[in-house]
Homo-oligomer: A and B are copies of this chain.
Amino acid sequence: MPNSLSSFNRDTFNTALREKGLRPTKQRACVYGVILDKRDHPTADDIYDRVKRHLPGTSFATVYNCLETLVGCDLVRQVNMDRSPTRYCPNLTPHAHFRCTQSGKIYDVEIDNDTLSLMQALVPEGFEAENLDLSFSGTAKSSNN
């Protein structure tokens, strides 16, 4: 039985959904599962393909619905880089993204607390930032694959 969540993740998942009064359905679990499974910042399209291998009847709308739900429950994060399709990421720690313009691959980049504080301090008086997004693009040596 592939893509069953580990009991740890299953717990996180159930709890997060129940807290919002939402149902932990098999589609939602599966979408969450494939995102945890291969942390390659998949697009909705990628996720759809992977989910179909486990739950063949799943529709595109459902994938989008599930993703929206998971994002709303803070189980996964959206990653938007330029105009390219939205990607999804189970890494919830504060981190930036690096996109290789050659391969299209996206890498997580840790942000240390000092730098994070300095960035947050850029926001002027009278503005209240709830969200911060930092991304880089450029080239990655192929040894980083």
Give A25 Cβ to nearest chain B Cβ, in Å: 25
* A6-14, A28-36, A61-69, A107-115 - interface stretch: A107-115
Partner of A127, one of B127, B128, B138: B138
* Number of residues on chain A facing chain B (CB within 8 A): 40
Task: Out of B80, B122, B131, B138, name the residue touching A110 (CB < 8 Å).
Answer: B122
Q: Are A118 and B114 in contact (CB under 8 A)?
A: yes
Which B residues are in CB contact (< 8 Å) with A128? 138-140
The answer to whether A109 touches B123 (Cβ under 8 A) is yes
| Chain B: CB-nearest residue to A141 | B126
Q: Which residue of B lies closest to A115 (CB)?
A: B118
Known: A127-B98, A139-B128. A111 touches B107 (CB 8 A): no
